[in-house]
Amino acid sequence: MSPAVRFQNVSRRFGSVRAVDGVSLDIEPGEFFALLGPSGSGKTTCLRLIAGFEQPDEGHIEIFGETAEGLPPYRRNVNTVFQDYALFPHMTVGENVAYGLMIKGVAKSEREAKAKDALAMVKLGGYETRRTAQLSGGQRQRVALARALVNGPKVLLLDEPLGALDLKLREQMQEELRSLQTSLGITFVFVTHDQSEALSMANRVAIFNDGKIVQIGTPSDVYERPKSRFVADFVGSSNVLPPEFAASHGGMAAWTSLRPERIRIVPETAIVPSDYGHAKGVVTAVSYQGAATRITVATDKLPVVATIPAGTSLNKDDRVVLMWPKSAMVAMGDGA
Amino acid sequence: MTAAIHETRRGIAGTISDVFFTRPQLLTVLLLTPPLLWIGIVYVGSLFALLMQSFYSLDDFSGVVVHEFTLSTYAQLFEGSNVQIILRTVTMAALVTVASAIIAFPIAYYAARYARGWTKALFYLAVMMPLWSSYLVKVYAWKLILAKEGVLTWFANFLHLGWLLDGILALPVVGGPSLSFSYVGTFLVFVYIWLPYMILPTQAALERVPANFIEASADLGAEPGQTFRTVIFPLALPGIVAGSIFTFSLTLGDYIIPQIVGNSRLMIGQAVYTLQGTAGNIPLAAAFTVVPMVIMAAYLWMAKRMGAFDVL
């Protein structure tokens, strides 16, 4: 079976800027796929290339085996949930949701029934006659979702879908999107700059930097086995240890990622087991973060961050030993 | 030592600023009183005085205005030649409005969606510059352009299209001896003069249509033509209606353009001019003035019922 979306060496330039630079990518049918990266890394342009708002300068794009380049958005069986929702202000909620069906020429009674079902699916049953201006941010998000899904797209694209929502609502929508995707079985591709959102929602994540994909993998792949300093730092802000430090502290002579939550802080007098690496240092900062506390320790070479469960008695200037299982040290590639 | 939480006030200006800052309504009242007096007394008051006149009548024998309430002056509006004047003017205003809207839309669309930086500046310059020069000079310039010996006739002959021009002039009603003595000429000059008033509000309305509405529409399967009909046009409609208020009402009330370019048949504006001047029939002139107001009120009411202002 052909992949839902296939990029083969795709590039898109804006003037002299290569927004997307030689990207190759296969997204399998039914995947919940995240395009993750800092702003300006090319992830949104990739989404727009799938939607058809942009055309590639080089390379080849397929959607379910069909060539996509050259096709305008209205000839693609792909729908988008826009970052600011782009709901039409001159139509009611129901008319917004039924818009795609109206364009296809579906009879009024049928499209109204389908719009009603779609709204019920996103828990907005009974909102058909409301004006979009009367809705809250979370409700607009749901209408945008219903408006896209009612067309039965083969791929649903979501551009920073939860960016404008507050934390509580965002967590709730993450779960709902997840269960919606599972029950519908549609391929979801979503763009985000929020690594925790990508890790919690996606089956697989592509991490973008400077228009290129720097790593593709499952959330645990990219989190636990980052291939580069960029990924280690961008996904979950890891401690990136230079080769000489890693080699002298229980690892290999390579750039190494060490997750803060894998580090334990023990008194200077503690005995370190042989399968642990360790370093002595002085606490320079203690930052309370609710469930966890983030401790920065200056070792003789570099500062190392550890997160430990809340309720520590550590203070600034305490002399401590950091220790971590050697297996937590992940050697990375060239360090780019 | 304890530091004061505020600086000490400095002088009378500082005190006044403080009073206004803490009582913003006071400032609003002070700022609004003069313009409200102006609009209330000078503006609406004189309009009201004019309306009063329309309920008086002219004594046919003495030529003196009878200051008694009557509807007979309004009844005169429905007499033969007066009805003709009203119908002629309304038809002209409607045609000018439709033509302006059709010509203005692509220009406004280009300006709102594609013009950036210097092309935008050029657009504003091109649209506004005609408004900087004298209206009268422009109308006389058009009279020369449209005249039998004018540049338009010459150009039509140059392109071997003289037959077309002759054909237009030979048309019943709208034609005439030359363009500058025909309804076609009057129409062309009206459209020229009022076009900026249609372009600017249309452009402002289109400016407020976000680009991603067009993307969203395409994403949901709409071809460009469908997107235009279902998204762009409905959202631009309030602007077009605003522009049409200008073109329609300005055409209804104008008396100079049909005087200079056109045939001898009167428009409402000319009728008012003649009646209040040589004829001394102020009541009928006032009644004629009410006609455009009633038409505009009806027009706006209809536009509102059709939902033209729903997105505002």
- Compute the distance between CA of residue B274 and CA of residue A302 in angstroms, rounded to an integer: 95
Statement to judge: residues A222 and A270 lie in one domain? no
The answer to whether residue A248 sits within a structural domain is no
* Residues paired with A267 in a beta bridge: A320
On whether residue A111 sits in a domain, the answer given is yes
**Do residues A224 and A123 share a domain?**
yes
CB-nearest partner of B226 from A79, A89, A103: A103
Beta-carbon neighbour count of residue A240 at 10 Å? 20
Q: What is the distance in angstroms between the Cα of B228 and the nearest Cα belonging to chain A?
A: 12
Is residue A242 in some structural domain?
Answer: no
Domain endpoint, select from A189, A217, A233: A233
Q: Tell me, yes or no, whether A121 and A59 share the same domain.
A: yes
pLDDT (tens digit per residue) in A224-250: 889 888 998 888 888 889 888 888 888
Check residues B131 and A9 and name the one with the higher pLDDT. A9
What pLDDT, on the 0 to 100 scale, is given for residue A65? Answer: 92
Domain boundary among A233, A267, A285: A233
Point out which residues pair with A92 in neighbouring strands: A131
Domain boundary among A233, A267, A284: A233
B218 interfacial to chain A (CB closer than 8 Å)? yes
Q: Among B212, B215, B219, B230, which would you mutate to test the A interface (most chain A Cβ atoms within 10 Å of its Cβ)?
A: B219
Distance CA(A252)–CA(A274), nearest Å, equals: 16
Query: According to the model, what pLDDT value does residue A233 have?
Result: 86
* B216 closest CB neighbour out of A72, A82, A151: A82
- The number of domains in chain A is 2
Q: Express each pLDDT in B276-301 by its tens digit.
A: 887 788 899 999 999 999 998 998 89
How far off is chain A from B222, nearest CA to CA, in Å? Answer: 6
Q: Which residue has better confidence, A146 or A166?
A: A146
- What residues are paired with A62 via a beta bridge? A6, A67
Residue A209, beta-bridge partner list = A212
The Cα B243–Cα B247 span in angstroms is: 6
Contact between B234 and A84 using a beta-carbon 8 Å cutoff? no
Interface test with B, best of A50, A78, A80 (most B CBs within 10 A): A80
The CATH number assigned to the domain holding A280 equals: 2.40.50.100
The pLDDT assigned to B312 comes to: 58
Is residue A194 domain-resident?
Answer: yes
Q: Is residue A241 part of a domain?
A: no
Give the distance from residue A243's alpha carbon to the nearest chain B alpha carbon, in angstroms.
48
Same domain, residue pair A179 and A263: no
- Closest Cα of chain B to A217: distance in Å? 29
Q: Are residues A107 and A68 in the same domain?
A: yes
Kindly report, residue by residue over A264-285, the tens digit of the pLDDT.
998 888 888 888 988 999 999 9
Cα–chain-centroid distance for residue A268? 40
Q: Are residues A290 and A198 in the same domain?
A: no
Q: For residue A207, give how far its alpha carbon lies from the nearest alpha carbon of chain B (Å).
A: 26
- Does residue A336 lie within any of the structural domains? no
- Contact, A324 vs A297, CB < 8 A? no
Query: Is the CB of B17 inside 8 Å of chain A's CB atoms?
Result: no
B107, HSE (Cβ side, Cα atoms, 13 Å): 19
Residue A333 falls inside a structural domain: no
CA distance, residue A63 to nearest chain B CA (Å): 15
Whether residue A222 is found in the same domain as residue A291:
no
Tell me the residues of A at the B interface, defined by beta carbons under 8 Å apart: 51-53, 72-74, 78-80, 82, 84, 86, 88-90, 99-100, 102-104, 147-148, 151
pLDDT band at A5 (very low <50, low <70, confident <90, very high): very high
Q: How many CA atoms does the CB half-sphere of A19 hold within 13 Å?
A: 18
* Angle in degrees, CA A45, A46, A48, rounded to 5: 60
Residue B221: pLDDT band with limits 50, 70, 90? very high
Has residue A9 been placed in a domain?
yes
- The stretch A130-153 carries a mean pLDDT of 92
* Residue A228: domain span: 5-233
Residues A216 and A297 in one domain: no
Q: What is the 3-state secondary structure (H, E, C) of chain A?
A: CCCCEEEEEEEEEECCEEEEEEEEEEECCCCEEEEECCCCCCHHHHHHHHHCCCCCCEEEEEECCEECCCCCHHHCCEEEECCCCCCCCCCEHHHHHHHHHHHHCCCHHHHHHHHHHHHHHCCCCCCCCCEHHHCCHHHHHHHHHHHHHCCCCCEEEEECCCCCCCHHHHHHHHHHHHHHHHHHCCEEEEEECCHHHHHHHCCEEEEEECCEEEEEECHHHHHHCCCCHHHHHHCCCCEEECHHHHHHCCCCCCCEEECHHHCEEEECCCCCCCCEEEEEEEEEEEEEECCEEEEEEEECCCEEEEEEECCCCCCCCCEEEEEEEHHHCEECCCCC
Q: What is the pLDDT of residue B5?
A: 67
Q: For residue A334, is pLDDT > 70?
A: no
Alpha carbon A293 to chain centroid, angstroms: 25
Q: Which pLDDT does position B2 carry in this prediction?
A: 55
Q: Which residue has the higher pLDDT, A163 or A70?
A: A70
**Quick check: B28 contacting A, CB < 8 Å?**
no
A96 shares its domain with A183 = yes
Q: Are residues A123 and A22 in the same domain?
A: yes
* CATH number of the domain where residue A104 is located: 3.40.50.300
For residue B219, give the nearest of A51, A88, A102 by CB distance: A51
pLDDT attached to residue B10: 72
Q: How many CB pairs under 8 A join A and B?
A: 62
Mean pLDDT of chain A, nearest integer: 91
Write the single-letter amino acid at B155: F
Co-location of A141 and A278 in the same domain: no
Q: Which of A235, A232, A233, A263 is nearest to A250 (CA)?
A: A263
- State whether A223 and A105 are in the same domain: yes
Of B212, B221, B235, the CB nearest to A151: B221
Asked if A74 and B234 come within 8 Å (Cβ–Cβ), the reply is no
pTM over 0.90: no
